[in-house]
Amino acid sequence: MSCDMQIEKEITKQMVDEAVAYLAKLLPGADTAVVLGSGLGALTELLEDSFSIPFADIPHFPQTTVQGHKSTLYAGYLNKQPLFILGGRLHYYEGCSLSQVVFPIRLLAGLGVKKLILTNAAGGVNTAFTAGSLMLIRDHINFMGANPLIGPNTDEWGPRFPDMSHAYHEGLAKTALLAAKKLDITLHEGVYVAFSGPSFETPAEIRLARLMGADAVGMSTVPEVIAARHLGLSVLAISCISNAAAGILNAELNHLEVLEAGKHASAQFCSLLEAILLKITGVALS
């Protein structure tokens, strides 16, 4: 199903269940999953015995169109521990409903995932950040003007009014900070604000974002975190800063720059993710 089709935008539990049933026959279970942001695809190379399934083969999976995202689900092993990696994600600006955007998260939960690691490329609102900086998301501001939980609540997924006081799991955050320290990688901490996009923000919007307390800005992740918390998953999220947000430098923004920065930061980002994954799947850091 394509995102720009006006019909079937609402994802029902039955649709998710059908996709789960399809995948459960093909894949081993996994406790942890990673969602990769723009240009951050290299992590999949670390998977052993990996099996990949195009999103298009998964029943009811809405199709993505964004350059730099791989529309593939990978299942494999990292140091003998099973892991799912989503090579790409769905965005609100593609014309997807937010219930379509969070379909993969509900699918992963249906497959037994309990810990979700979300990554993204983001603009730096905090002027201390430069292209390639990494930021652990400590909290978010949903500035998209929409919420994936709007509509009738599916009680089997979670409560009508889920708490967001601790949207980002403290233990996973500590693990990430510890892993960064051991690898001598600077991992900033901050607040991520989500705009709908697809236009980049104006300098005035970025000044507003800074006044609101944001450190990084992007067009994804927040709906996924909301759906994940609704489902009771533990969330860790890390932004790779691909550019200074609008108005900070005297430069125009473009998507290619986002992809390039992702590629450059990718080696460091991958080592950090690998170390975090080894730690949370039970294998100690060396």
To 10 degrees, what angle do helices 222-230 and 103-110 make?
Answer: 30
Contact status: 122 vs ligand HPA (CB under 6 A): yes
Instruction: By CB under 6 A, tell whether 218 contacts ligand HPA.
Output: yes
Name the active-site residue from 42, 50, 52, 93.
Answer: 93
How near is the Cβ of 55 to ligand HPA at its closest, in Å? 21
Closest residue by beta carbon to ligand HPA: 123
Query: Which residue's CB is nearer to ligand HPA, number 122 or number 137?
Result: 122
- Burial (CB count within 10 angstroms: exposed 0-12, middle 13-18, buried 19+), residue 185: middle
Per DSSP, helices labelled H in the chain are: 13-26, 98-101, 103-110, 170-183, 203-212, 222-230, 255-280
Please say whether the dihedral angle defined by the alpha carbons of residues 99, 100, 104 and 110, taken in this order, is positive or negative.
positive
Q: What is the DSSP string of 215-259?
A: SEEESSSHHHHHHHHHTT-EEEEEEEEEEEPTTTSS----HHHHH
Over the window 175 to 204, marking each residue x when it contacts ligand HPA by CB under 6 A and - when it does not, the resulting string is: -------------------------xx---
> Please, what is the minimum distance in Å from the beta carbon of residue 255 to ligand HPA?
8
Question: Does the active-site annotation cover 255?
Answer: yes
Is 38 annotated as catalytic? yes
In the complex, minimum distance from the CB of residue 112 to ligand HPA, in angstroms, rounded to a whole number: 31
* Eight-class DSSP state of 63: B
Q: Which stretch binds ligand HPA (CB under 6 A): 88-96, 116-124, 163-171, 272-280?
A: 116-124
Residue 94 as a binder of ligand HPA (CB under 6 A): the answer is: no
242 binds ligand HPA (CB under 6 A): yes
Residue 253 and residue 243 in contact, taking contact as beta carbons nearer than 8 Å:
yes
How many residues does this entry show for the chain?
286
3-state SS class at 124: strand
* Site of tokens 């942890």: 32
> Taking CB under 6 A as the rule, does residue 258 contact ligand HPA?
yes
User: Is 134 an interacting residue with respect to ligand HPA (CB under 6 A)?
Assistant: no
230 is catalytic: no
Q: Which is nearer to ligand HPA, 136 or 245 (CB)?
A: 245
Q: Spot the catalytic one: 60, 74, 91, 131.
A: 91
Single out the catalytic residue among 19, 75, 121, 216: 121
Pattern 142-181, binding to ligand HPA, x per CB under 6 A? Answer: ----------------------------------------
Per the CB < 8 A criterion, the answer to whether 112 and 29 are in contact is yes
Task: Say how far apart CA 72 and CA 53 lie, in whole Å.
Answer: 6
Determine contact, residues 40/262, Cβ cutoff 8 Å.
yes
Min dist CB 240 to ligand HPA, Å, is 9
Interface residues with ligand HPA (CB under 6 A)? 121-123, 200-201, 217-219, 242-243, 245, 253, 258
Could you list the active site residues? 38, 69, 91, 93-94, 121, 219-220, 243, 255
